[in-house]
Amino acid sequence: GAVVSQHPSWVICKSGTSVKIECRSLDFQATTMFWYRQFPKQSLMLMATSNEGSKATYEQGVEKDKFLINHASLTLSTLTVTSAHPEDSSFYICSTRSYREQETQYFGPGTRLLVL
Amino acid sequence: AQTVTQSQPEMSVQEAETVTLSCTYDTSESDYYLFWYKQPPSRQMILVIRQEAYKQQNATENRFSVNFQKAAKSFSLKISDSQLGDAAMYFCAYRIRKAGNNRKLIWGLGTSLAVNP
């Protein structure tokens, strides 16, 4: 399967600061990237879908000004949590589909965010 | 609306035994994909198996196999010869096959599988 990396794997920040999470597809071109949020012992909640070079499509209820997504290249997407608050603490996972293999999504290892 | 239901929040199995995790889904589409993903304690989501709805043959991957019943909209996962490393949360997911903005994965709530030595 495809390899997807995420950085950082975990981050602790103070309330009010911004945090950037990077997602990279290491061995393929990712035309579409997905950002999920997962609370403990729950399923994945899709936050937004992004295609390279275009604006992300956000799911209902997700604040686009708070969760900024940039998909500037076919191998890199970033999620920036702006003015983070304790309620933003969560596990964030990126996922990609490759141009060649559209059927399956591959997932990054996730980023644990703790906002104090 | 498309939904995925996993009716077993928790399951357990003895090492080397076989266990079946259930999944049902609801859709009016005829062409779609079904997936089982595994999320171990590391929380890395790993693809276990994929099934294309147009294929009648059940997908298999080593010790993992599915029982795909399209008419019943059922997609169960069988794990044979269970190993300690199989302990994880298992998610069933559905995705429409045709192009368009609605090609996102629809997830079940997951089944937590414990493997007893």
Reduce the secondary structure of B44-107 to three states and give it as a string: CCEEEEEEECCCCCCCEECCEEEEEECCCCEEEEEECCCCHHHCEEEEEEEEECCCCCCCCCEE
Predicted confidence at residue A101, as pLDDT, reads: 65
d(CA A23, CA A26): 9
Q: Smallest Cα–Cα separation from A48: which of A19, A78, A25, A27?
A: A78
Q: Which residues of A touch B (CB under 8 A)?
A: 1, 34, 38, 41-44, 46, 49, 57, 91, 93, 95, 103-107, 109-110
Token pair 């141009």 is at which residue? A99
Helix, strand, or coil (residue A48): strand
Contact residues on chain B for A57, CB-CB shorter than 8 A: 101
Task: Report which of residues B2 and B26 the model is more confident about.
Answer: B26
Determine, for residues A46 and B105 on separate chains, whether the beta-carbon distance falls below 8 Å: yes
Determine, for residues B43 and A110 on separate chains, whether the beta-carbon distance falls below 8 Å: yes
Question: With a CB-CB cutoff of 8 Å, which residues 28-57 of chain B face chain A?
Answer: 33, 35, 37, 42-47, 50, 52
Q: Is the pLDDT of residue B102 over 60?
A: no
Q: Is the pLDDT of residue B101 over 60?
A: no
What tens-digit pLDDT sequence spans chain A (116 residues)? Answer: 678 999 999 999 999 999 999 999 887 777 788 999 999 889 999 999 988 778 899 999 999 999 999 887 888 999 999 999 999 999 999 999 876 666 788 899 999 999 99
Write the single-letter amino acid at B66.
V
Determine, for residues A43 and B33 on separate chains, whether the beta-carbon distance falls below 8 Å: no
Helix, strand, or coil (residue B18): coil
Q: Are B34 and B48 in contact (CB under 8 A)?
A: no
Contact residues on chain B for A109, CB-CB shorter than 8 A: 42-44
Determine, for residues B104 and A49 on separate chains, whether the beta-carbon distance falls below 8 Å: yes
Predicted confidence at residue A32, as pLDDT, reads: 85
What digits encode the pLDDT tens for the residues B38-96? 999 999 999 999 999 999 899 999 999 999 999 999 999 999 999 999 999 999 999 98
* Pairing mode, strands B111-116 and B10-14: parallel
